[in-house]
Amino acid sequence: MSLQDLIPVVNKLQDIVTSTQLADIDLPVLAVVGSQSCGKLSVLENIVGKDFLPRGTGIVTRRPLVLQLIHVNKDDPAVLEYSPLDVPATSSEVSLEEHLRRSNGSTRSHSNEPPSEWGEFLHIPNKRFYDFNDIRKEIESETLRIAGQNKGISRLPINLKIYSHKVLNLTLVDLPGLTKIPIGDQPTDIERQTRSLILEYIQKPNCIILAVSPANVDLVNSESLKLARQVDPTGKRTVGVLSKLDLMDQGTNALDILKGNVYPLKLGFIGVVNRSQQDIQDNKLLDDSLQSEQQFFANHPAYRSFASKCGTRYLSLTLNKILMNHIRERLPDIKAKLNTLMGQTEQELASYGDYPSLVDSKEGRAALLLNLMTKFANSVVNSVEGTSFDDVSIKELCGGARIYYIYNEVFGSSLAAINPTQNLSVKDIRTAIRNSLGPRPSLFVPELAFDLLVKPQIKLLEEPSRRCVELVYEELMKIVHLICNAGSNLDMTRYPKLQAKLMETVSDLLRERLGPTIKYVESMIEIQQAYINTNHPNFVGAAKAMATVVEERRRQRETELQSRMRIATLKILSKHHKETESSDDTETELPNGHIDSKDIDIDQVDDEIKPPVVHKHKRSDSSRTLHTHKSDLASHGHESYFNYFFGKDPIMHQQHLQAQAQLNPTPFKFPLPQEPTLQFNNNFINNGGNVHADVKGLSLEDRAPSQSPVSEQENGHVPHLEHGEESNLNELNEREQLECELIRRLIVSYFGIVREIVQDQVPKSIMCLLVNYIKTHIQNRLVVKLYNEKYFDELLQEDELIQMEREKCINLLKTYREASKVISDVV
């Protein structure tokens, strides 16, 4: 087995290694070391099996030549790539290919095939040298360029790549020969320079050292062996090469050296006979020279018995063994990686599903389609129900949880955010009240006005409700989309047409349901608007609302009154204090320790209230009035039906307020015209044992003549009560204020009831009409729309990309299996 025989094996391995990014086989670098003209280049040439290496009488290696042999197959696309820079073989010169052909003994002179062997220099990228002579010339000029005209050397290597289908991927290094004495313009330390340059290459553990020594020079003078020992003391990567055995003195031989008796080397010494200068000039073919070498050893009296271990062929075999050993060392690693890769690829292949041919039969395809549709439908249902645990996300809410979130958070809070009296000004209410009265005298707080005002407010609930439906719809769309495109659900992506159709069909189904659901929800609001049920058990009712309003007003007045009284008292006291300045009892007269008489601007207080009146009632009356009122409530409470509704007696309260108004005729901040007297048109409805007031209206007597709409109408002056008309609370009389507040409260209460109903009913309706509907109909719809024999082929057409990927996997697996076989053959 020669080095050439290794080519297919190593190349196959190398292919695997590079294509799969396995650990590189990392073949050793062969470096030839030796004194000048000892035959280094000749040895390299023989090893490679070709004499395309540039050489000639004038050429001396003065820069390291790193010769990278790269195997390319003849059908490699790279072979066919010509670049404009390429140097075609000139007819007058021998092309590299021609040269190689000749050296290989091939008789074929011309062919139409593109040249499949060429050289490329690192310093001239993208230029292919097809002509051997050009390569040689380039080496010469490049050597001159860097190393100069004189005989000096340079560490800067010349990198030459030889692409061929006949070579092994090996790197060979031709190094400058060792010289002792500087010649010509050579620097005095030329020996040291050369030495360090050589050492730089051969000290790498990956370097196999071919230490060439010419047999016609005493071995003790061998510089190559000296250097090799320096970097490889155990001699495990040094091969001794004894060249020029044919040039030894007559009667001498190197048998002792070759047998290892002179210099111990683990890998031994191998004697070779290269082509002489004459042979080269005569264009002696390599094969012929190998032949004569063999003959030389076979016929030589000293080497005859040792012939099998001599010669270039044996050297090649030895190197071959070294390389194989090296490869073997790497094999377990490669093998392990290969196995991993095979497993991964098999898994990937399985993920692309069965071969489409497996479902070639109609029944098979029908079953597959049905299976896929069912899987999809189930996924949708599971996602909505939250039972698809395989892809439960912890990052964000999904599926059913999102719908729940929409109901509770989004919808709930958007409803809660609605202001029941939004867009409803006091003026609007008053206008509605007035309008609802028509020309009739206003005796009751008109229910019609409440009815009129609350209906548009209920409409406010429509928009969030509709939005809720839309959000759930969008969420369902998202779920369907997600499942359709789920990476884990490869079956879907495998059939893009089916995927699109599934999406389309379910989208259609969803869209179909969107309209009716929105319509239903809208009609729910409409229903709420259709009849205002003031009998609703949770409705506050006019009576209770009125009582609250009245009570609040009373409290407000009382606190106002009290504070004013206190201020007045203080004023009087301070006056008194001024009069009796020497007296000490003033301090104790102060009703409240917090207020110091000095802090109060007495004159200002004087402007607002009439001190004598207040003073008169200051302590005894005001507190007594309150007390009396309370006791009045207690005594009359159950006798009056007002009390029954209001919980407090409005008449007593009215009387009380009137009494106060008489005591304080000057209006306070809130004007107090004549207190209206409430009169109820009462309807009792016994509702499940609870008595509720059905307020047909609260009549209010004694309107302030100028402000009453009745009087306005009587005067023939109908005011324009429009939006934009200046209106503030002070413009309304007390009765109107009460009415407005009452209506406002009723609206708030009633709106709350409807809001609750809507909040409860809308999600239920959406579930029924949209979500559950989809859940129960999705499978059926898919079958109806897609499960049709004439669609089978189209729907189950596999994605091209997946087909390609599968193909790639199959090919990869094939390569791996082959590689696996190569490896087991090597071992």
- The per-residue DSSP string of 132-148 comes to HHHHHHHHHHHHHHHH-
273 binds, among Mg ion, ligand GDP, none (CB under 5 to 8 A by kind): ligand GDP
SS3 687: strand
CB of residue 128 to ligand GDP, shortest distance in Å: 26
Closer CB to ligand GDP, residue 34 or residue 115? 34
CB of residue 74 to Mg ion, shortest distance in Å: 31
Closer CB to ligand GDP, residue 241 or residue 406? 241
350's CB contacts (< 8 A; 6+ apart) are: none
Closer CB to Mg ion, residue 64 or residue 400? 64
CB of residue 349 to ligand GDP, shortest distance in Å: 53
CB of residue 177 to Mg ion, shortest distance in Å: 6
Tally of helices (H runs) and strands (E runs) in the chain? 31, 12
136 binds, among Mg ion, ligand GDP, none (CB under 5 to 8 A by kind): none
Element (H, E) at 164: strand 158-164
55 binds, among Mg ion, ligand GDP, none (CB under 5 to 8 A by kind): ligand GDP
CB of residue 280 to ligand GDP, shortest distance in Å: 5
CB of residue 73 to ligand GDP, shortest distance in Å: 31
Q: Which stretch binds Mg ion (CB under 5 A): 34-42, 237-245, 636-644, 797-805?
A: 34-42
530's CB contacts (< 8 A; 6+ apart) are: none
* Cα dihedral 464→468→470→476 (10° resolution): 170
Calculate the CA 38 to chain-centre distance: 66
CB of residue 151 to ligand GDP, shortest distance in Å: 13
Closer CB to ligand GDP, residue 65 or residue 460? 65
Burial (0-12, 13-18, 19+ Cβ within 10 Å), 431? buried
d(CA 291, CA 295): 6
Closer CB to ligand GDP, residue 291 or residue 730? 291
Closer CB to ligand GDP, residue 41 or residue 480? 41
- 650-663 vs 542-579: helix crossing angle, rounded to 10: 30
Residue closest to ligand GDP (Cβ)? 39
531's CB contacts (< 8 A; 6+ apart) are: none
374's CB contacts (< 8 A; 6+ apart) are: 779
SS3 679: strand
Contact 142, 121 (CB under 8 A): yes
Contact 169, 326 (CB under 8 A): no
Q: Which stretch binds Mg ion (CB under 5 A): 58-66, 365-373, 625-633, 693-701?
A: 58-66
512's CB contacts (< 8 A; 6+ apart) are: none
172 binds Mg ion (CB under 5 A): no
CB of residue 57 to ligand GDP, shortest distance in Å: 7
CB of residue 61 to Mg ion, shortest distance in Å: 4
Contact 387, 433 (CB under 8 A): no
- 132-147 vs 96-103: helix crossing angle, rounded to 10: 110
499 binds Mg ion (CB under 5 A): no
Q: Which stretch binds Mg ion (CB under 5 A): 12-20, 54-62, 491-499, 662-670?
A: 54-62
CB of residue 243 to ligand GDP, shortest distance in Å: 4
Closer CB to ligand GDP, residue 312 or residue 383? 312
- 3-20 vs 311-351: helix crossing angle, rounded to 10: 30
Closer CB to ligand GDP, residue 190 or residue 476? 190
Q: Which stretch binds Mg ion (CB under 5 A): 33-41, 336-344, 556-564, 579-587?
A: 33-41
61 binds Mg ion (CB under 5 A): yes
**Bridge-partner residues for 171, per DSSP?**
29, 68
38 binds, among ligand GDP, Mg ion, none (CB under 5 to 8 A by kind): ligand GDP
* Of 570, 552, 526, 534, residue with least CA distance to 746: 534
d(CA 36, CA 177): 4
CB of residue 166 to Mg ion, shortest distance in Å: 23
Count residues binding Mg ion (CB under 5 A). 2
Closer CB to ligand GDP, residue 248 or residue 600? 248
Of 409-448, which residues contact Mg ion (CB under 5 A)? Answer: none
Amino acid letter, 630: K
Interface contacts to ligand GDP, rule CB under 6 A: 34, 36-42, 55, 177, 243-244, 246-247, 273-277, 280
* Cα dihedral 814→816→820→823 (10° resolution): 120
Closer CB to ligand GDP, residue 132 or residue 520? 132
The residue length of the chain stands at: 827
Output the CA torsion sign for 18, 317, 53, 287: negative
166 binds, among ligand GDP, Mg ion, none (CB under 5 to 8 A by kind): none
User: What are the residue ranges of helices labelled H in 300-397?
Assistant: 311-351, 362-385
277 binds, among ligand GDP, Mg ion, none (CB under 5 to 8 A by kind): ligand GDP
Closer CB to Mg ion, residue 61 or residue 345? 61
Closer CB to Mg ion, residue 139 or residue 746? 139
**Angle at the Cα of 604 (from 598 to 608), degrees rounded to 5?**
130
* Of 656, 658, 664, residue with least CA distance to 631: 656
CB of residue 206 to ligand GDP, shortest distance in Å: 22
**Bridge-partner residues for 31, per DSSP?**
173, 209
CB of residue 179 to Mg ion, shortest distance in Å: 12
Closer CB to Mg ion, residue 41 or residue 153? 41
CB of residue 65 to ligand GDP, shortest distance in Å: 10
Closer CB to Mg ion, residue 154 or residue 699? 154
Q: Which stretch binds Mg ion (CB under 5 A): 35-43, 390-398, 401-409, 475-483?
A: 35-43
d(CA 148, CA 155): 12
12 binds, among ligand GDP, Mg ion, none (CB under 5 to 8 A by kind): none
31 binds Mg ion (CB under 5 A): no
CB of residue 209 to Mg ion, shortest distance in Å: 16
36 binds, among Mg ion, ligand GDP, none (CB under 5 to 8 A by kind): ligand GDP
263, HSE (Cβ side, Cα atoms, 13 Å): 28
Contact 254, 245 (CB under 8 A): yes
SS3 595: coil
Helix-, strand-, coil-residue percentages of the chain, each rounded to 5: 60, 10, 35
CB of residue 116 to ligand GDP, shortest distance in Å: 27
606 binds, among Mg ion, ligand GDP, none (CB under 5 to 8 A by kind): none
Q: Tokens representing 351?
A: 């993920």
42 binds, among ligand GDP, Mg ion, none (CB under 5 to 8 A by kind): ligand GDP
Closer CB to Mg ion, residue 16 or residue 41? 41
Q: Tokens representing 352?
A: 């692309």
Contact 43, 272 (CB under 8 A): yes
Closer CB to Mg ion, residue 62 or residue 101? 62
Residue closest to Mg ion (Cβ)? 61
Binding Mg ion (rule: CB under 5 A), the pick from 32, 41, 44, 743 is 41
Closer CB to ligand GDP, residue 312 or residue 569? 312
CB of residue 55 to ligand GDP, shortest distance in Å: 6
777 conformational bin, left if phi > 0, alpha if psi -120 to 50, beta if neither? alpha
Residues that bind Mg ion (CB under 5 A): 41, 61
